[in-house]
Structure 1
Amino acid sequence: MRIDLDADVAEYALRLGDDALILCQRLCAWVTHAPTIEEDLALSNIALDLLGHARVLLAHSGRLDGTGRSDDDLAYRRAERTFRNALLLELPNGDFGVTVARQLVYAVYAGLLYTELELSHDAELAGFAGRAAKEVEYHQMHAARWTVLLGRGTEESRRRMQAGVAHIWPYAAELFESDELVRRLAANGLGVDPARLHEPWEKEVAAVLTEAGLAVPSGSWRATGGRSGLHTKALGPLLADFQSVYHQYPGGTW
C-alpha cells in the first residue's frame, strides 16, 4: 500500500468502524426488551458481531492515522462531531418494525460491501472483510425473516413493518454516497466505492419487501451529514451513555 494513502485508509476504516459501533450500541438496548427471549439472544449476538467489527476497524484506523490511538481510545475519547457513522445507525430504535427495517437495510449493504472488500490490497481490510461477510450473512437472513414474518402476519404487524420501512428509508441513501476519498481508494484497489453497490442493494431489499407483501417506498428526501460529523440529536445522548463509565473512571482497568 502506498504510504500516501494511509490517511485515506484510516478515515475509511473509521467510517466503517463507527457504523458498526453505533449500531451495536443501538441493538444492545433491545436486550431484555425484545419480543421474545430468543430475540434477546439473537440481537445481542448480532451486536457482539458488530462490536468485533468495530474493534478491528477502529484499531486499524488508529494504527494508520499516525496517532497510535487504540480502538478503545477511538470509541471512548472522541466527541460527537468526530464520529463518522451514517445517520441511519444512530436513529432511535423505535418499535420492533423500525429496528427490523434498519437491520435489513444495513445488513444487505454490509454484505455487499464486505464481499467486495475481500479483494482489497490492504491485507488487514481484506482479512477482516472475509470474516465479517460470513457473519453479516446471518444478520441479513435474520432481518429478512422478520420482515416477511411481520409483513405477512397480522394487520397490525404489517402496518408497523411498513411504517418502519418508510421511517428509515430516507436514511439509507447516505450509505451509498461517494466522495473523493472512497473513489481514490477504489481506484487503488484498497476500498469500495459504495455508489456502485446501490443497484444490487435495491434489488435485494425490494425482493424481501415484495415477499413480505410490503411496498417499496417512493422517492423522498435524503438524509446526509454523518460522514462529515453532522449528526442527528439522537447521537449525543447515545454517546453520553456509552462513554459514561470511561468519563467517570478515565484510565480505569478491570
Structure 2
Amino acid sequence: MSDQHNPPETAKAEPQRFEAEEGAPTPTTPETVGRAAEPWERAGDPAELGADQLSARYLVALADDALVYAQRLGEWISRAPQIEEDMALGNVALDLVGQARALYARAGELDAGMLPGVQELAEDDLAYFRTDREFRNVWLVEQPRGDFGYEMVRMLWFSAYQHALYSAIVRTEGADAELVAIARKAVKEVEYHRDHAAQWVIRLGDGTDESTRRTMAGLQAVEPFVPELFADDAVAVAAADRGLAALPSTLREPAEQFVTAVLQQAGLERPQAGRWTAAGGRVGEHSEQLGYLLAEMQSVARAHPGASW
C-alpha cells in the first residue's frame, strides 16, 4: 500500500520557553495567580499570622468592599434620574476605586507572597486575578443594581459604615501607618458620600407617595445585608486584638445612630430584621451575583494578561 495517504509521523514541536533573567519579577498571568492548592484564607489561623500578613488580609477585605461597590455604582452612568447624578455617582465610584487601589497596593507591600506565583504583588493582581471565592467583600456591595431609592439606601448604610470604620482606624494607635494615612483621606471622601445619600433618602422618603413607597422598599431589601457590615470575622478579631485595626462590631452604634437620624428626618422607620441575614462574605462565601460582576470586570485583564496602556 502506498504511503502517500499516510505521511510519516513527526514529533510535535515543543512550545517555546523563555527563561526569566535572574531577579526579574514573574509575569502576572491567569496561570501564575491564585492557583495554590489551598486559598490563602485557609493557610492557617489568622491569630498565628505575623502582623504584616494579618494587616494585609484586613486591608484586602476593605479594598474588596470598595472595588465591588465602585463597579456597581458605575452601572448608574447614563441611568441616574438626572445628568448631575450620573456625575455624582461616577465620582463616588472613582473615590472608592482610589481607596481600593491604595489598600491593595499596601497589602501587596505588607505581604508580597499573598498570592502564589507572584514575586511582586501589584494591585491589578488582587483586583483582576482572583476568583469570587477569593474575594472578601460583604454581600451588600455585590447585590445587583435596583432602582434609585434602593441605591441611595444602600449607599447610606455603606457610607455610614465606612465613615465609622475609617474614623476608628485613624484613632487606632497600633495600625499600620500607611493604612492610617489612607483612612485620613478616605474619611473625608466618605463623609461626602454619606451626606449625598442622606439628602436623597430624606428627599425621597419625605416626597411623593411613590418615592416614599420605593424608599421603604429599598430599606426592606437592604436590611438583610446590614448585619454583616458589623460582624466580627476571624481576621478582624485577630487584627483588633493586636491593636492593628478596628473591630467591626464597635462600628455598629455610630453607623446606626447616623442612619436612624436620617430616617427620622425622612419620616421613615427602619424595617424589623427578618429571619435571614447575609453572612460569609469575609471568608469567600458569596451570592451568585459576585461571579457575574467579576466576569465583566475582569474580562479584559484576563483576556490580555500583562497588557498595559
Aligned counterparts, 1:71-90, within 5 A: 71-90=123-142
- Equivalent residue runs for 1:138-217 within 5 Å: 138-217=192-271
User: 1:226 Cα deviation (Å)?
Assistant: 0.6
d(CA) in 2 for partners of 1:189, 1:236:
34
Of 222, 232, 237, 2:277 maps to 222
Pair 1:251 & 2:306 matched: yes
- Is 2:147 the partner of 1:113? no
Structure 1 residue corresponding to 2:148, chosen from 96, 99, 112: 96
Q: How many residues align?
A: 252
Q: Structure 1 counterpart of 2:162, which letter?
A: A
Amino acid at match of 2:92: I
Once residues 163 and 179 of structure 1 are traced to their aligned partners in structure 2, the CA distance between those partners, rounded to angstroms, is 29
Kept in 1, the 8 Å contact 2:161–2:251? The answer is yes
Aligned-partner Cα distance in 1 for 2:255–2:244: 21
Q: How many Å separate the matches in 2 of 1:59 and 1:112? A: 23
Shift of 1:210: 1.2
Q: Which runs of 4+ in 1 moved over 3 A?
A: none
Aligned to 2:72: 26
CA offsets, 1:84-133, max 9 Å, x none? 00000000011111111110000001001101111333101100000000
User: How far apart, CA to CA, are the structure 1 residues paired with 2:303 and 2:237?
Assistant: 41
Aligned to 2:37: none
Query: Which amino acid in structure 2 is aligned with residue 10 of structure 1?
Result: A
Percent same amino acid among aligned pairs? 48
Distance 2:130 2:52 in 1: 21
CA distance in 2 between counterparts of 1:134 and 1:27 reads 19
Q: Does 1:9 align with 2:61?
A: no
Which amino acid is 2:247 matched to? Answer: D
Residue deviations 1:8-56 (CA, integer Å, cap 9, x gap) = 1111000000000000000000001110000000000000000000001
- Give yes or no for contact 2:198–2:262 (8 Å, CA) kept in 1: yes
Distance in 2 separating the partners of 1:132 and 1:4? 26
Cα distance between partner residues in 1 of 2:239 and 2:283:
17
Report the Cα offset of residue 157 of structure 1: 0.5
For residue 60 of structure 1, what is the aligned residue in structure 2?
106
What is the identity, as a one-letter code, of the residue corresponding to 1:9?
Answer: S
Corresponding residue to 2:179 among 105, 122, 125: 125
Tell me how far apart the structure 2 counterparts of residues 253 and 247 of structure 1 sit (CA, whole Å). Answer: 12
Q: In the aligned structure 2, how far is the partner of 1:226 from the partner of 1:187?
A: 21
> What is the TM-score normalised by the length of structure 1?
0.96
For residues 60 and 90 of structure 1, what CA distance do their matches in structure 2 show?
A: 23
Distance 1:200 1:118 in 2: 15
AA in 2 matched with 1:72: D
Unpaired segments of 5 or more residues in structure 2? Answer: 1-48, 114-119
Q: Per the alignment, in what secondary structure is the counterpart of residue 216 of structure 1?
A: coil
Secondary structure in structure 1 of the residue aligned to 2:225: helix
Deviation (angstroms), 1:153: 0.9
CA–CA distance in structure 1, aligned partners of residues 293 and 238 of structure 2: 32
Deviation at 1:5, TM superposition (A): 1.3
Q: Does the 8 Å contact 2:233/2:282 carry over to 1?
A: no
Root-mean-square deviation (CA), in Å? 1.1
> With structure 2 as the length reference, what TM-score do the two structures score?
0.80
Deviations 1:51-73 (A, max 9, x none): 00000111111222232311111
